[in-house]
Amino acid sequence: MIESQLYKVADHVFGMELEESMVAMLTNYEPFKVSEGEPLFVIRQVDASPASAETMSHVFTDTSDDDMPRIEVYRNDEGRLFRVSVIKDSPICFEMWAPLDFSEAKLHILPEQQNGRFAIDNAAMLMYAFRTATLHTLEMHASVIMKDGFAQLFLGHSGTGKSTHSRLWMEAYGDEAVLLNDDNPILRLLASGEVRVYGSPWSGKTPCYKQLSAPVHGIVKLNQAPKNEIRRLGLPQAYAYMLSSASGLKIEPDMMDALYDTIARIIQITPMYHLDCLPDTDAARLCHDTLSK
């Protein structure tokens, strides 16, 4: 039996129509359930492949990291087909077809792969990123700490220490510092001019799914180093770091134009820093004191 449910993430509503067995495993979406709202898109689970890659033009294959999902993208005049594997050399886990405006998606989860949670999360993240790109909304690869009513985003490649730095803030400031999200927060530039970050159902290996948000105090690019030093970044460096940390397949001109514009606006409003750091609470305190000035 198919179950329909609406969710609200960063004030954007979307829907999913999934088999009940799939919905039961989506505990990470529970805080984001809503009973009403006009969805930006709806993901509908189907029993068979929604399109044939053989009849479409191959656009892109993302194999940038061996331990990250492989995404194949195909296109014709009606829409796009995404074929996604859990890691670079693994079999296809799910296929998803979406029309050119990303208003809906047909999702086929290959039953032999037994990876429904991965399929739904990644399908939702893809659709969300594409559909909200023109709404000054960014999916960020970042860890986020809230303190004193404000939020700080920590950027860096996998293994840089984003999660560790967030943990050090919590060690340094106790209950005053709260982890909002540890992998995929949503960053929005609001019509008021405020830059705000939101929790999401997607938080990597750390289960942190909070329907909370806060204005952004600063954005920090982390780098492991033998001593703690922090400096304010100029706009070109800030732009480059933000672009590398914003999720989205950089193959769609309209989406990328919107993403470029949003990043350019955000870095003119929100200060961005580069923190060379040790894995100690002194690094967290240095970061906090600098951002609080």
| Per-residue confidence band for 47, with pLDDT thresholds at 50, 70 and 90 | very high
In words, the CATH class of domain 137-291 is alpha beta
For residue 267, CA distances in Å to 22, 36, 125, 199 come to: 39, 34, 23, 20
Spans of all domains in the chain: 2-135, 137-291
Q: How far apart are CA 90 and CA 115, in angstroms?
A: 12
Question: Does residue 67 surpass a pLDDT of 80?
Answer: no
Q: How far apart are CA 48 and CA 221, in angstroms?
A: 43
Average pLDDT over residues 86-94: 89
Q: Give the single-character DSSP code of 233.
A: P
Side-chain half-sphere of 191: how many Cα atoms within 13 Å?
Answer: 2
Specify the pLDDT at position 286: 98
Are 260 and 221 in contact by the 8 Å Cβ rule? The answer is no
Neighbours of 185 (CB within 10 A): 27
Of 77, 127, 136, nearest to 102 (Cα)?
127
Question: Does residue 255 surpass a pLDDT of 90?
Answer: no
Predicted model pTM: 0.95
